[in-house]
Amino acid sequence: MKQILIVDDEPMVRMGLAQLVRQCNPLFRTVVVANGAEALEQINKQRPDMLLTDIQMPKMDGLELCKQVQDMNVNVPIVVISGYDDFAYAQKCLTYGVKEYLLKPLTEHELYPVLNKLLLQQDLSVPISFFKVEEWLERVEATIWSADLDALNSLIEEWKLGDMTKGIQAQQLEQIIADGLKILVKKLNAHNMVTFTTNASPPQLNTVSGAIAYLQTELVGLYNQLFHWRGGNQKSLFEEAKAYIDTHISEELSLEEVAEKMGLAPTYFSYIFKKMTNETFVQYRMKKRIEMAKRLLEIPHYKVVDVGVTIGYQNYPYFTKIFKKMTGCSPTEYRSMLGIK
């Protein structure tokens, strides 16, 4: 259903225009207001699919309205319907992005072709990038699975302000959100650890802002499901990651392997790991290996050369280099400081 906003200070004119628009197509819904100020309030509440406006009106005239709508960057086609056959007005309107300048009195033969042409152009001018939507969903999945609420809120803001919703119709957005949530739930449930669900019967949403609010509610709901399943511990996923690293510290452990165990993409796991620990994966692994080396060096019967192999360094000179870099002394010097020969 297309919504047409009609702005005219003469009640009979705006009622007549509304009737003319509805006669053009029963699926066209009309909203009528008396001036530009009221029109802006209406646009902020619910973005129309088209704006029909007069020029001469109190409070805010049609030219100022056109200018402000253009500044809002809301991709709403504007048609000026004026009783003034004045080239200066028409020229000014063009600078504010007005698509058509029609003269009163208006008939269906003049209005209908304009309505159909502009609404069709609008539909064709908003191609949805499914690649962008899919890429965004992958990032949302990662933030939810890692229980990063701040990152999730940032992604929601990105959706609100990005090109994915620019000029989109409410019905189209509703379908994208419904399909996207199904895909997201399927991805999250593929981890086979907790069963995620969303609202089985989403409400009928008639505005873009309402659809986005619904999306935000559902995404935060998915986050809360995981958060509660983990006992309200936001850092538990990375505690698991660190525990896994500690357990396998002497092995040829890679970031990719740990990321896979945690169910995250390696690049995202690397980013979040550093954010949560203030260390890179390599720095953390090196630190834990050297801590283990110190404990082994404190055991008198343990040969220094065997310590490096035990903690995962097959090359003894390389182990010595890393140990000295981390502690300021060689393994032999460290043992000597402990009084162990």
**What pLDDT, in 10s, does the model give residues 232-271?**
554 556 777 888 888 888 888 888 888 877 767 788 778 7
Which stretches does DSSP call E strand in the chain? 2-7, 28-33, 50-53, 78-82, 100-103
Q: Are residues 27 and 115 both part of a single domain?
A: yes
- Tell me, what's the pLDDT at 266? 81
pLDDT digits (tens, 9 = 90+) for 53-112: 888 888 888 788 888 888 877 778 888 888 776 656 666 777 777 878 888 888 888 888
Domain boundary among 91, 124, 157: 124
- Tell me, what's the pLDDT at 5? 92
Q: Are residues 56 and 39 both part of a single domain?
A: yes
Q: Are residues 117 and 166 both part of a single domain?
A: no
DSSP helix/strand/coil, 218: helix
Q: Are residues 243 and 216 both part of a single domain?
A: no
Q: Are residues 259 and 318 both part of a single domain?
A: yes
Q: Are residues 258 and 325 both part of a single domain?
A: yes
Q: In this structure, what CATH number is given to the domain that contains residue 35?
A: 3.40.50.2300
Helices in 248-301 by DSSP H: which ranges?
A: 255-262, 266-277, 281-297
- Tell me, what's the pLDDT at 227? 75
Count of domains forming the chain: 3
CA distance 238 to 203: 36
Q: Are residues 175 and 197 both part of a single domain?
A: yes
CB proximity list for 138: less than 8 A, separation 6 or greater: 187, 265
Tally of CB atoms within 10 A around 97: 16
- Tell me, what's the pLDDT at 150? 83
Domain boundary among 174, 200, 229: 229
Q: What's the average model confidence in pLDDT over 31-58? A: 87
Question: Over 70: is that where the pLDDT of 163 sits?
Answer: no
Q: Are residues 265 and 223 both part of a single domain?
A: no
Question: Over 70: is that where the pLDDT of 169 sits?
Answer: no
Domain range holding 272? 236-337
- Tell me, what's the pLDDT at 131? 67
Q: What's the average model confidence in pLDDT over 1-25? A: 87
Q: Are residues 88 and 56 both part of a single domain?
A: yes
Q: Are residues 170 and 108 both part of a single domain?
A: no
- Tell me, what's the pLDDT at 14? 87
User: Where is pLDDT greater, at 131 or 50?
Assistant: 50
203 preceded by cis ω (within 30°)?
no
Question: Over 60: is that where the pLDDT of 126 sits?
Answer: no
Angle at 184 between CA 180 and CA 189, to 5 degrees: 150
Q: Are residues 87 and 179 both part of a single domain?
A: no
Q: Are residues 6 and 105 both part of a single domain?
A: yes
- Tell me, what's the pLDDT at 83? 77
- Tell me, what's the pLDDT at 89? 64
For the chain, the average pLDDT equals 80
- Tell me, what's the pLDDT at 100? 82
Q: In this structure, what CATH number is given to the domain that contains residue 306?
A: 1.10.10.60
Domain boundary among 181, 199, 229: 229
pLDDT digits (tens, 9 = 90+) for 270-291: 877 887 778 888 899 899 999 9
